[in-house]
Amino acid sequence: MNETLLTTIENSFRIAWDYLEATGELGDPDIAANHLLDTIETMVRHGERRRLLLSNKAIAAYQHFRAEQGLSLAS
C-alpha cells in the first residue's frame, strides 16, 4: 500500500494513541500527543516508513517516559 508521508505519520499516531487509550496508559493528552508525535517524526526523519514499527516504537518510548516520570516523582 502506498501512503503519503503525512498519512503514514497520522496512521502511526492514531494506532499508538488508540492503544494507549485502550490500556489506560494515555495520561495527560497534551503530553502524550507531543511525545508520540516527536518520536514518530524523529524516526521518519531517519528514514523509517513502516507504520506499525513507528507506532510500536512510539508506544514503547512513551511507556518508558511515563515509567521514568513516575520514578522521579516517587523520589
User: Which pLDDT score, from 0 to 100, does residue 72 have?
Assistant: 52
Of residues 67 and 72, the one with the higher pLDDT is 67
Residues 6-57 have pLDDT tens digits of 999 999 999 999 999 999 999 999 999 999 999 999 999 999 999 999 999 9
Q: Which of 65, 48, 46, 53 is nearest to 16 (CA)?
A: 53
Q: Which three cell numbers stand for residue 7?
A: 498519512
pLDDT at 70: 83
Residue 35 cell numbers, joined: 511525545
Global pTM value: 0.89
pLDDT at 2: 74
- Report the alpha-carbon distance of residue 24 to residue 51 in Å, rounded: 22
